[in-house]
């Protein structure tokens, strides 16, 4: 039976208190559905970018957004494109299961893995052979996971432990999530996709246990920004071989990394949620605009600064008419002159309306 060895140190206790304080604060914020949708969208895009980046994906955050929402294509990056699409699908699947209150079991876990790897909702079989974790630069072995014949029993044991702990409610949910993350990575039940699946598994447990925070945070961002710490925390034990120490290892280092990272992520989203909540209602700002001005927001979503020629092309009008329109909008407080040069004059939105673009609220 999986019996993790760990100590609830002062550092872990402090992180747990910070997590709980942030959870309570965000829960009490009167965020509108539109604000929540915007924050969720940002969190999912960030989670997709950073989780796949950890595994070597080269797409930038803006390229990930373009692939997922704009149908973007990047020649030579087809594998990277597929990875981000599949990870995003897996996130959507998890949210669907949480809404249905579907208990997390092995079938669901294996389905998450298949979504990560192929985008299909067919449970994946565990590996049937030995895999080896090597240093990407030197090629030396850093970890030898358990033999394939032991994987099914180990996974069954892990899921039973998780289910029992969630029912008993003796351990804090973040601690359970961190320990499951660690043990899944330890078992390494697949040839590929273990890291992404472990991170999604963590998301499922936290949401199921009441630490979903409306789905507006990204733990993956912390992992990517503290990547060596992530690997160091996972690499515990006296030997690189699972059977020679890893299976009985003291996992406090990983639990410390996990809870501190979660506290950091929650603190950031608390700050962002409070900031958004204090902003004026974006829909009221939109209502101040004319239909023509609202349409123009889509132009500024692509170009931060535009010329009268850009506006003319956008509206299929003459440059003279577009120039007059831009000056009219400057007087109205919709635009400001970014470059006063007569030959290269450029306009940008005033700060009030730039926030609309940042929040992606357009018709």
Calculate the alpha carbon distances from 177 to 182, 210, 219 in Å.
Answer: 9, 12, 12
- Give the tokens for residue 72: 């973007």
List Cβ neighbours of 230 (8 Å cut-off, separation of 6 or more): 54, 223, 257
pLDDT the model gives residue 363: 37
40-79: pLDDT as tens digits: 888 898 999 999 999 999 998 888 988 888 777 888 999 9
pLDDT the model gives residue 335: 93
List Cβ neighbours of 106 (8 Å cut-off, separation of 6 or more): 155, 156, 159
pLDDT the model gives residue 292: 85
Q: Which residue has the tokens 């890291």?
A: 195
Which domains, ranges and CATH numbers included, belong to the chain? 10-278 (1.10.3290.10), 282-358 (1.10.10.10)
Instruction: Give CA–CA dist 66/125, Å, rounded.
Output: 32
- Give the tokens for residue 274: 């409070």
Instruction: Give CA–CA dist 17/151, Å, rounded.
Output: 35
The structure's pTM equals 0.77
pLDDT the model gives residue 279: 60
Q: Which residues of the chain have pLDDT under 50?
A: 361-363
């Amino acid at each position: 039976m999986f019996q993790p060895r760990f100590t609830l140190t002062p550092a872990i206790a402090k992180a747990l208190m910070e997590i709980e304080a942030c959870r309570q604060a965000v829960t009490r914020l009167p965020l509108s559905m539109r604000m929540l949708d915007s924050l969720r969208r940002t969190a999912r895009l960030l989670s997709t970018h950073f989780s796949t980046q950890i595994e070597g994906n080269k797409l930038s955050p803006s390229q990930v957004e373009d692939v997922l929402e704009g149908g973007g294509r990047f020649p030579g990056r087809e594998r990277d494109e597929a990875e981000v699409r599949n990870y995003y699908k897996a996130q959507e699947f998890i949210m669907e299961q949480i809404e249905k209150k579907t208990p997390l079991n092995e079938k669901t876990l294996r389905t998450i893995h298949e979504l990560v790897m192929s985008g299909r909702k067919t449970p994946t079989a565990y590996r049937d052979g030995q895999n080896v974790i090597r240093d990407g630069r030197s090629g030396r072995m850093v970890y030898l996971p358990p033999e394939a014949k032991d994987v099914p029993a180990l996974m069954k044991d892990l899921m039973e432990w998780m289910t029992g702990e969630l029912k008993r409610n003796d351990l804090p949910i973040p601690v359970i999530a961190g320990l499951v993350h660690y043990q899944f990575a330890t078992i390494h039940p697949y040839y590929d996709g273990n890291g992404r699946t472990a991170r999604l598994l963590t998301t499922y447990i936290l949401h199921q246990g009441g630490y979903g925070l409306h789905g507006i945070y990204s733990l993956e961002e912390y992992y990517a920004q503290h990547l060596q710490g992530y690997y160091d925390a996972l690499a515990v034990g006296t030997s690189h071989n699972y059977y020679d120490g890893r299976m009985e290892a003291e996992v406090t280092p990983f639990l410390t990394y996990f809870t501190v990272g979660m506290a950091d992520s929650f603190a950031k989203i608390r700050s962002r949620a409070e900031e958004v909540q204090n902003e004026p209602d974006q829909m009221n700002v939109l209502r101040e605009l004319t239909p023509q001005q609202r349409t123009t927001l889509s132009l500024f979503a692509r170009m931060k600064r535009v010329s009268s020629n850009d506006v003319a092309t956008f509206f299929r009008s003459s440059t003279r008419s577009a120039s007059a329109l831009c000056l009219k909008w400057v007087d109205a407080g919709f635009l400001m002159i970014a470059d006063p040069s007569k030959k290269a004059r450029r306009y940008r939105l005033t700060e009030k309306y730039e926030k609309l673009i940042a929040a992606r609220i357009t018709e």
